Amino acid sequence: MILVVLLSIAMLMTGISQKIRLPHTILLVVTGIILGRIAETWQPLSILTDFRLGPEVMLFVFLPALIFESGYSIDTRQLHQDLPPILMLAIPGMLLSTFIVGFGIWWLLDIKLIVALVFGALISATDPVAVIALFKELGVPKRLYVLVEGESLLNDATAIVAFSILVGIAVAGGGIGWGDSGSIIVEFVRVFIGGVIVGSLLGFAVCEVLHRMRSELPVILTTSIIVAYASFVLSEHVLHVSGIMSVVGSAIALKRYSILKFGHDATHAIHSSWEMIVLSMNSLLFLLVGLSVRFENVPAMIGATLLVVILILLARAISIYNMLPLATRLFRLPHVSKADRHIMWWGGLKGGLAIAVVLSIPDSLPEKQFLFDLTIGVVMFTLLVSAPTIRPFMERLGLNRLTEGEDLELRNTLISARKDSASWLTELMEHSLLSKQAREELMIRIRLAFGIGMYDEGSEKHEDDEYIAIFRTYQTEQVVLDSLYKARVISQYVYLRMNDARLDMQEALRMGKTAHKALRESNRKSLFVRFEGYLLRYSRENPWLAKLFSRYQLLRLVQQIERHIAKVIISNKIIEMLRQQEDLDLAAREELIENYSTRNRFYRKELDTAQKQFSGFYQRHMEQTAHRSMIHRGWQYVEKQFVHGDLSAKGYNIIKNKVDLELQGISSFRAVRAPESSESISDLVDQVSLFDTLGSEDRQDLENQATDITFLAGDTIVGESERGDNFYVLIHGTAAVLKLNEDGSSQQVTEFHDGEIIGESSLLEDEKGRHRRSATIVARSACNMLCITRKAMLGIVDKYPEIREQLRAIHDQRIGDAADT
């Protein structure tokens, strides 16, 4: 009953806060303080004196839910891009704050160093609830939102891990010295990274199980709540790693793959449900913070509190104004503006987590009450001073003003809304439901509601049609891309990669960048591309991974074909859409139509090349794609009929069983596993004249140690100065040989074509270990290669002198050609 009353009070205060434009967290804390004072003197409310924010309640009830919702709602695409600066703030920045605050109060307040460091760790955890709420209201750039929210997520984990280590030393009665730093760092990394791994694996596993079970939305939502708490408890009490990082990892993993496995509607429903849960949690949390405040020691702690606040702001200023720019420069990321950094500095609020952490200090530590009073003072300062000033500070910095791109996006939406409203009005007139006089008056109302300027027809004939058209192309691209994924024309990896590129471009345009600059920023290598490049570089010259690498390259070939198919369909749809946008300038539309027509021709040519080079493989993949997409499109219609009540449950289950049976016969990767028309290893060896003299037994041994690998256009086959000892024969395709110049640029020396060999020099030298490549070789088109291990080739060269001589002649000729060049 008490919880119901407290929640009712919290909801009332939340509504009032929207009216008076004050962060609801502040109003809740003040309400909690007032209720606490009344409860001490008025018997009917005396039961509230038993409601206090204890460490167990905070750490095992509130914290997992709050962290999970933050991890689930954060923009993972932007998080991946800005992970280096976020980690810089959350780990080195938090540790710097710990030491500055710790050493500061040790020197100024004369307390034990280890106790001072314990306080420095616990007070460094941020809780920017009020700031995030303002961000959502004012519509700040996504990057600033993610920087603040991402730092808070990882910062909390870092602070709790550091606190746990330091408080253990303090309670044991020991000190801390430089000799302990190594073991502390190792323990910190183990706990931090271990939590990420545990949570991510749990999130991925649960998502896959729910998908395979075809779980309904209530089951998915309930399971997400279980995952939030299970990941925390499993990590903290069983595996002894960071529970917070485990919750963050599970939330991000579940969010990233729930979009693909369950669809946008289910993901949105999960997010809305978690927002409701967190609203209740936050409301109770800040009321309990107010109820937990005791003013007996506050007057005596004012001086110490102000001193600590100054130290915290100083430490945060060093992190924000020095470490953040350093991270963006080191990782070549876009610059973070001064206005954004000012908000990040002043918005590092402290909240319930700091209070819960200080309450978790064992009673055996004599300084516990002093640290609690100091923590309450700092939390109250940030909530009652920092939080109320965030809004005017943001408005003063201009963060509430529309950027040029946002203004254009607004105009585009207003124009589309006005057209839709006018179309509906026309339809009502056709049904003779309105008079002409009413129509004219309603048209005026439409202009007032959705007009760019009041009665200003000239302002609607703006000169930004090119940008408006570009925004509409991205809207169309999103619709087509979603439909292609739902029909399983493209895989989830291809969908994520293409959608990330689209979102990057759209966000860059929204922030007012030119189309050229936006395109350049969107082409910056994403997390997918960087991971793929690392995987290729590590595995392409590793003989133990040759078979696996061959399979992976075929998978990449399938993904490339899927991307090209999607690009062709998207460009066609966009061209069709642009031709219908008669409200836009014809010249602007024609320029974009020509642009997308060029893209269409390019990707069709790429598909034609793939069809010629891998005819059987390509045909089989296209047949499977058509089969799979046909079934999924039909199933989407069935689900829609069932949801709308136009199909009974019996009929739905009959069709579901038929569809499941049909889909079981289609494998997304069957074309990768066994392309029917691909040439066997024996067929490929037949095409290499170098092996004509091999005996049958030696030839069989060679075939057993050879692998068929396909490199896509643009792939690096071997890298200059990289270690590798594989021997390659180029069966089909073209590859360029590049040498690095002294200034770091590369120059093409020659080209390799069908039948040429790569890696002969490693067989002619007595160098032990893996050979260093003398040049970079890049695939100009898709290259089908026969890859043979150096060990197998050395056996052949030693046994067949004529093969060695052929290799020597080829090598000498290449040396001579290179010298001439």
Residues 764-808 have pLDDT tens digits of: 765 555 567 778 888 888 888 888 887 888 888 888 888 888 888
Out of 291-305, 662-676, 792-806, pick the least confident: 662-676
Model pLDDT, residue 669: 43
Q: Each residue of 768-789: b (16+ CB within 10 Å) or e? A: eebbebebbbbbbbbbbbbbbb
Q: Which of 89, 87, 90, 77 is nearest to 143 (CA)?
A: 77
Which residues neighbour 506 within 8 Å (Cβ) at sequence distance 6 or greater? Answer: 471, 474
Residue 641 has pLDDT above 70, yes or no: yes
Q: Rounded to whole angstroms, how far apart are CA atoms 604 and 607?
A: 5
Query: Phi-psi category of 531—alpha, beta or left, where left has phi over 0 and alpha has psi -120 to 50?
Result: alpha
Crossing angle between the packed helical segments 142-171 and 94-108, to the nearest 10 degrees? 50
Q: Rounded to whole angstroms, how far apart are CA atoms 720 and 779?
A: 14
Q: Rounded to whole angstroms, how far apart are CA atoms 496 and 479?
A: 14
pLDDT tens readout for residues 571-611:
999 999 999 988 788 888 898 999 999 999 999 998 998 88
Which residues neighbour 430 within 8 Å (Cβ) at sequence distance 6 or greater? Answer: none
pLDDT tens readout for residues 700-715:
888 888 888 888 888 8
The mean per-residue pLDDT over the stretch 269-294 comes to 82
Residue 692 has pLDDT above 80, yes or no: yes
Q: How far is CA 714 from CA 497, 533, 781, in A?
A: 17, 11, 7
Residue 63 has pLDDT above 60, yes or no: yes
Q: Rounded to whole angstroms, how far apart are CA atoms 642 and 630?
A: 19
Model pLDDT, residue 685: 86
Q: What is the dihedral of CA 575, 579, 581, 584, to 10 degrees?
A: 100
**CA angle, 142 then 397 then 74, to 5°:** 15
The Cβ of residue 271 has, within 10 Å, a number of other Cβ atoms equal to: 15
Q: Each residue of 49-75: b (16+ CB within 10 Å) or e? A: eebebbeebbbbebbbbbbbbbbbbbb
pLDDT tens readout for residues 109-151:
888 888 999 999 989 877 776 677 777 777 777 888 889 888 8
Residue 676 has pLDDT above 60, yes or no: no
pLDDT tens readout for residues 150-171:
888 888 888 888 888 888 888 8
Query: Phi-psi category of 728—alpha, beta or left, where left has phi over 0 and alpha has psi -120 to 50?
Result: beta
Model pLDDT, residue 540: 67
378 and 302 in contact (C-beta within 8 Å)? Answer: no
Q: Quick one: tokens of 403?
A: 């950027």
Cα radius of gyration rounded to whole Å, the chain: 32
Percentage of residues in the chain having pLDDT higher than 90: 15
**CA angle, 377 then 383 then 385, to 5°:** 90
Residue 53 has pLDDT above 60, yes or no: yes
Residue type, 478: Q
Between 231 and 188, residue with greater pLDDT: 231
738 and 746 in contact (C-beta within 8 Å)? Answer: yes
Model pLDDT, residue 457: 46
Model pLDDT, residue 553: 80
Q: Quick one: tokens of 134?
A: 């303002």
**CA angle, 586 then 587 then 592, to 5°:** 100
pLDDT tens readout for residues 28-40:
888 888 887 787 7
Out of 215-224, 522-531, 662-671, pick the least confident: 522-531
Please report which confidence band the pLDDT of residue 570 belongs to, taking 50, 70 and 90 as the band edges.
Answer: very high
Between 18 and 625, residue with greater pLDDT: 625
Residue whose structure tokens are 């009020």: 130
pLDDT tens readout for residues 192-234:
889 999 999 999 899 888 888 878 888 888 999 999 999 999 9
Out of 469-473, 542-546, 718-722, 725-729, pick the least confident: 542-546
Laid out side by side, the sheet with 727-732 consists of: 706-711, 783-788, 727-732, 757-758
Choose the most confident range, by mean pLDDT, from 171-180, 262-271, 601-610, 684-693.
601-610
Between 250 and 538, residue with greater pLDDT: 250
Choose the most confident range, by mean pLDDT, from 13-27, 528-542, 740-754.
740-754
Residue 674 has pLDDT above 50, yes or no: no
Residue 815 has pLDDT above 60, yes or no: yes
The mean per-residue pLDDT over the stretch 338-367 comes to 83
Please report which confidence band the pLDDT of residue 294 belongs to, taking 50, 70 and 90 as the band edges.
Answer: low
Percentage of residues in the chain having pLDDT higher than 70: 86
Q: Rounded to whole angstroms, how far apart are CA atoms 762 and 770?
A: 9
Q: What is the dihedral of CA 527, 532, 538, 542, to 10 degrees?
A: 160
Model pLDDT, residue 295: 62
Q: What is the dihedral of CA 587, 592, 593, 598, to 10 degrees?
A: 130
Model pLDDT, residue 520: 52
Which residues neighbour 663 within 8 Å (Cβ) at sequence distance 6 or greater? Answer: 628, 631
Please report which confidence band the pLDDT of residue 527 belongs to, taking 50, 70 and 90 as the band edges.
Answer: low
Please report which confidence band the pLDDT of residue 671 belongs to, taking 50, 70 and 90 as the band edges.
Answer: very low
Out of 99-108, 173-182, 382-391, 547-556, pick the least confident: 173-182
First to last CA, the chain: 87
638 and 660 in contact (C-beta within 8 Å)? Answer: no
pLDDT tens readout for residues 359-406:
788 878 888 888 888 888 888 888 788 888 888 888 888 877 877 777
Please report which confidence band the pLDDT of residue 177 belongs to, taking 50, 70 and 90 as the band edges.
Answer: low
Out of 155-159, 248-252, 723-727, pick the least confident: 723-727
Query: Phi-psi category of 706—alpha, beta or left, where left has phi over 0 and alpha has psi -120 to 50?
Result: beta
Does the CA dihedral 210-213-217-223 come out positive or negative?
A: negative
**pTM summary value:** 0.73
Between 573 and 259, residue with greater pLDDT: 573
Between 520 and 242, residue with greater pLDDT: 242
